[in-house]
Amino acid sequence: MALLDYQNAIGQMVRASGRGDRFEHAGLTPAECRYLLTLAETAGFRFTVKVQQSWCAGRAAKAAFLTLSILPEETRRLLLNEWTSLGGGTRSFVGAESAAFLEFIGRHLTDPSHELTVCRLELAALRASEGVSHFEPPNPIGLDSRHCLLQRGHYAGLVRFYAQPQQVLDALIQKAPLPPLSHDGTTLLFGPGLDGLYRTASRNEVTVYEKLASPTPAASLFVEGFNRESIQDLLAGGIVEYA
């Protein structure tokens, strides 16, 4: 067996052990397979697997620190274990790892809840900050085309708070009980073109954002009564973009 093939086989064994998968040994001789299967039962190899799992869990925890801090310890442990068992915690690009892990966590949280709000807040802030170096405000003249289609901005986000945002954040910082859920909270928009990357959303802006889950003709928004100036403002903030 060539050295590179040996290294690849060892790496595959470590990943398979971490996820409980069956090790695929195609291309190896019977003697090489016996050696590797014997190696997998040694204390040194099992220690290597545990170290790799611990490293992945630690990397994932850093990727969603704020969200995990609001969850009960048992829930954090279960989410981290499930995420690393799926291969999480191994990406070299931290931003992509963080976004993927936050999306994974969000699928396991109650809606509505302060926990889900914090998860979406962390994800929206991450995406908006990543978009700053890529975003350029589009020319609003495109809105005048009858073929113009709009969609949600790639680096945009909308986060609903079920209490005043400062109340929730203060509770996080002080490790105090979270306030009761209320539907009189605030909705924030996040985008790479906004000052500070976020601002409070108006009711009309929330409606527009929700409508743009898929590409939508700009003309249909105007017919529904959404004015050009407000759509142009959303374009400039990176909240919506041309499809």
- What SS3 state is found at 151? strand
**Phi-psi category of residue 27: left, alpha or beta, with phi > 0 → left and psi -120 to 50 → alpha:** left
Residue 230 vs residues 64, 203, 209, 220, 238: alpha-carbon distances, Å: 33, 12, 12, 14, 13
Tokens of 232: 């142009």
Domain-wise residue ranges, the chain: 133-243
- Res 48: pLDDT: 60
pTM, to two decimals = 0.75
Please give the single-letter amino acid code of residue 109.
Answer: L
Please give the single-letter amino acid code of residue 152.
Answer: R
- Res 206: pLDDT: 96
Mean pLDDT of 168-195: 93
What's the chain's Rg over C-alpha atoms? 23
**Cα-Cα-Cα-Cα dihedral of 52, 56, 57, 59, to 10°?**
140
pLDDT score of 49 more than 90:
no
Tell me the pLDDT tens digit for each residue of 65-121: 889 989 999 999 899 888 887 776 555 445 678 898 999 999 999 999 999 999 999
Q: What is the C-alpha to C-alpha distance for residues 155 and 166, in angstroms, rounded to an integer?
A: 24
Q: Which of 194, 197, 187, 188 is nearest to 234 (CA)?
A: 194
| pLDDT band at residue 237 using 50, 70 and 90 as cut-offs | very high
Cβ atoms 196, 188 nearer than 8 A: no
- What SS3 state is found at 239? coil
Tell me the pLDDT tens digit for each residue of 4-44: 666 666 666 665 655 544 555 556 677 777 777 777 777 76
Tokens of 9: 């086989």
Tell me the pLDDT tens digit for each residue of 110-152: 999 999 999 999 999 999 999 999 899 999 999 999 999 999 9
Percent of the chain with pLDDT over 70: 78
Percent of the chain with pLDDT over 90: 58
CATH of 133-243, one of 3.50.50, 3.30.70, 3.30.160, 3.90.930: 3.90.930
